[in-house]
Amino acid sequence: MSEWPEPVREPGETPRWLGWTVAALLFSALLWAVRDDNALRLPEFALPEIEMPEIQWPDFAASEQDAQSQPAPDGMSDASAIAEASPVVPGPTTPAFSMPATEGVSFEACVGAIEQAADALGPAMLVESSNDRRVVRFKTAQGDLTMTCSRADGTMRMEQG
């Protein structure tokens, strides 16, 4: 197996380390000449600054007071009767609603209430339908609302869950 011969310096050849040493000294002298107080610090990079717009929220309390002070629509004695005239089904967020709610009404009135709820809440899923009993379920943001009408008991039952 052959071996590489050791390099031999030619007569009159300058050592290689001398060139690198001179280059390092020149570079260091250049850095020293252009230095400032923070010569050895790395440059600081910054992200661009973005200004976000400010959101102006309306004064809800003032608009609520304005709504209460508006005149009543035609055919109503005062503005407080609007809530009674609008077809709203009491839900689980109203304070008077307790689970389950049972009310004594006729079967026909209960079916009418289910139709009113369908107009207000959207289509209902029919769970059971017979001559004596009707059960429907509505999907709401608070969960399922089940309405049950019973001809035998003469009751309407609303249940969350």
3-state secondary structure of 138: strand
Residue 149 pLDDT level (bands cut at 50, 70, 90): very high
3-state secondary structure of 149: strand
Strand partners, 137: 125, 146
Please give the structure tokens belonging to residue 104. Answer: 């004594």
Q: Show me where the domains of the chain are located.
A: 99-161
Rounded Cα distance between 151 and 132, Å, is: 5
Rounded Cα distance between 116 and 125, Å, is: 14
Q: What's the pLDDT tens digit per position in 18-46?
A: 788 889 999 888 877 777 665 556 677 88
Which sign, positive or negative, has the C-alpha torsion 16, 17, 18, 23?
A: positive
Predicted local confidence at residue 52, as pLDDT: 80
Predicted local confidence at residue 142, as pLDDT: 80
Of 137, 131, 124, 89, the closest CA to residue 108 belongs to: 131
More reliable by pLDDT, 89 or 117: 117
Q: What's the pLDDT tens digit per position in 51-86?
A: 888 877 777 776 666 655 656 555 555 555 545 544
Query: What is the pLDDT averaged over residues 116-143?
Result: 88
3-state secondary structure of 37: coil
Task: Return the minimum-mean-pLDDT range out of 3-12, 129-138, 144-153.
Answer: 3-12
Please give the structure tokens belonging to residue 49. Answer: 């600054």
**Percentage of residues in the chain having pLDDT higher than 70:** 70
Max Cα–Cα distance, the chain, nearest Å: 123
Average per-residue pLDDT for the chain: 76
Please give the structure tokens belonging to residue 137. Answer: 């379920």
Of 153, 152, 123, 154, the closest CA to residue 137 belongs to: 123
